[in-house]
Structure 1
Amino acid sequence: MKLPVTSYGESGTPVVVMHGLFGSGRNWMTAARRLADRHRVFAFDLRNHGTSPHVETMSYPEMAEDVRETIDSLGVGPVALVGHSMGGKTAMLTALQHPSVVERLVVVDAAPVAYPPAFVEYAQAMRAADLSAVQRRADVDAQLVEAVPTPGTRAFLLQNLILDEAGARWRPNLPVIEAALPAISGWPAEAEGLVYDGPTLFIYGGKSDYVQQDHRTTIAAYFPQVQYAEVPEAGHWVHAERLDDFLAALTPFIG
């Protein structure tokens, strides 16, 4: 499936950026604009997110194939492939299964391991919200408070709310995403035995636990040319929380 793409920049080496769970290509807008003076940047909306079509299945092999097909359709490969969280796992599997389209790989705060299932309560709270009489985003924000107590997280989730003359509705395919959460939290069996030999950079937040020291043996088995860059003051959303520090780690690697 070809994915919706937002492009930035007119010339330079191609860079594809991919968002995490409940995100969209718009999450990368500020970083992409900063990169666009030296690169052509393409922000993808992964399946069932953003403006992508709603489809009934959502696995990492399917998402990796979507990415390969979209890069091929743009005619810009091989690219520097950058992905955060779920997008980072998608980027890893794309590099492992379709290395011809990946010139170098950047993984932001994710590892090729299975994590405990997360965000189930977010999906359930979003689906349970009564949107029938919503007039303002604050109306939905109030409904999410119990399940999502952190204001910043609610604000992030509310970026997925469409509120127009037709009423209020969620942009992502929430039922399919919720059903796919165990697979999204995991790591696909299809990756076993594969190796990506290209240059690889893992950027991680010093205040996040998604990339741990004991993951490094597993990471190196898949990505033997791996380098690491820690952004000490960042949590999981590295590029949103500490953009300058994130770009300082990223730009020397992608050229």
Structure 2
Amino acid sequence: MDAARLTPPRRLTVPIQNRWGAGDMAVLDFGDANRPVDLIFVHANGFNARTYRTLLAPLASSMRILAPDLRGHGATTLPTATVGRRGWHDHRDDLTALLDTFPGPPVVMAGHSMGGTASLLAAAERPERVSRLVLFDPVIWRGPTALLFRTPVLRRLAERIPIVRGARRRRPGFDSREAALAAYRGRGAFKGWPDPVLIDYLAEGLVPSSGDGLVLACAPDWEASNYLAQGHDPWKAMRTYRGPTRILKAETGSITQVPEKPRGLEHVAVETAPGTGHLFPMVRADIVRDALFDAVV
């Protein structure tokens, strides 16, 4: 366990070419490179794979884990066209390409928030490559909320949606990572984050600007586009992918509108992580780590 904590993950570059454009997906590779991949873990909107390094590294003593940077995040260089974008089919197809790049036994796919939903969509496309899913507060709306997110009206009202407005108003750059750390520590969404997690987020979440200083690797407009592009159908994906699916949702502020016993989805188990909010993987790594270990081992 201590060796896993001290050994940094390898950095891989996976070429991706699909209908959404060509580029390279940056991937962190934890564990023994000589064994097949056991787990793929996908980050939330606006973050990056390295944000979850301290969560995943202790598991690397018993499994091999791939953690990709999604399109528009971290060190991934895939194009990010927002005009006419309607859903997360680009993230889905990027993840299926990653699955195809690493043949072997079926893997566990897991993810947080958008990363959980994108993993679900990818599993529905490649069910033979995914043994089970573990999703941490995935974005899954139901009823009127789901219908609203899929209507053109939503885009006309985009600037009135708090989470979209907040993304677009996000401070785009800093003079240094130290300045960003001072600005974020203990505030807003970062309240309660351990310093190592916040430092890891900033290590890949800020990139050199064309001038002086650093800018967000995930551009505010792309983050906002991910909130708005809800034309994909996670419910259809849950009906298509019939492997064991475990959903852990936050106790407060959850964006997972899946009941504990969803009708017709006996393979889907839903539970609430007590005392948690939407970003609980950053502050309660123990809950996430236990769930991943149970799924793989």
- Per the shorter chain, which TM-score range? 0.7 to 0.9
Structure 2 unaligned residues grouped into runs of 5+: 1-15, 17-23, 150-160
Task: Say which of 87, 112, 116 aligns to 1:84.
Answer: 112
- What fraction of aligned residue pairs are identical, expressed as a percent? 22
1:152 matches 2:176: no
Q: 8 Å contact 1:48–1:173 — kept in the other structure?
A: yes
CA gap 1:124/1:196 in 2 versus in 1, 3 angstroms: same
Task: Say which of 240, 248, 251 aligns to 1:206.
Answer: 251
Deviation, 1:77, is 5.0
Give the Cα–Cα distance (whole angstroms) in 2 for the partners of residues 253 and 190 of structure 1.
21
Task: Report what 2:221 is aligned to.
Answer: 175
Deviation, 1:230, is 2.8
Corresponding letter in the other structure for 2:25: L
Task: Report what 2:294 is aligned to.
Answer: 252
Task: Report what 2:19 is aligned to.
Answer: none
Task: Provide the alpha-carbon RMSD of the alignment.
Answer: 3.4
Task: Report what 2:154 is aligned to.
Answer: none
Task: Report what 1:7 is aligned to.
Answer: 29
Task: Report what 2:9 is aligned to.
Answer: none
Task: Say which of 134, 138, 157 aligns to 2:179.
Answer: 138
Tell me the TM-score normalised to structure 2 length: 0.69
Deviation, 1:208, is 3.5
CA gap 1:33/1:190 in 2 versus in 1, 3 angstroms: closer
3-state SS, counterpart of residue 28 of structure 2: strand
CA gap 1:224/1:108 in 2 versus in 1, 3 angstroms: same
Give the Cα–Cα distance (whole angstroms) in 2 for the partners of residues 135 and 85 of structure 1.
28
Q: Deviations over 1:24-79 (max 9, x none)?
A: 01122112112112111110100001111141336311111100101211224521
Deviation, 1:228, is 2.8
Task: Report what 1:123 is aligned to.
Answer: 167
Give the Cα–Cα distance (whole angstroms) in 2 for the partners of residues 135 and 39 of structure 1.
35
Structure 1 unaligned residues grouped into runs of 5+: none
Aligned length: 244
Task: Report what 1:61 is aligned to.
Answer: 89
Tell me the TM-score normalised to structure 1 length: 0.79
Give the Cα–Cα distance (whole angstroms) in 2 for the partners of residues 14 and 216 of structure 1.
29
3-state SS, counterpart of residue 162 of structure 1: strand
Deviation, 1:136, is 6.0
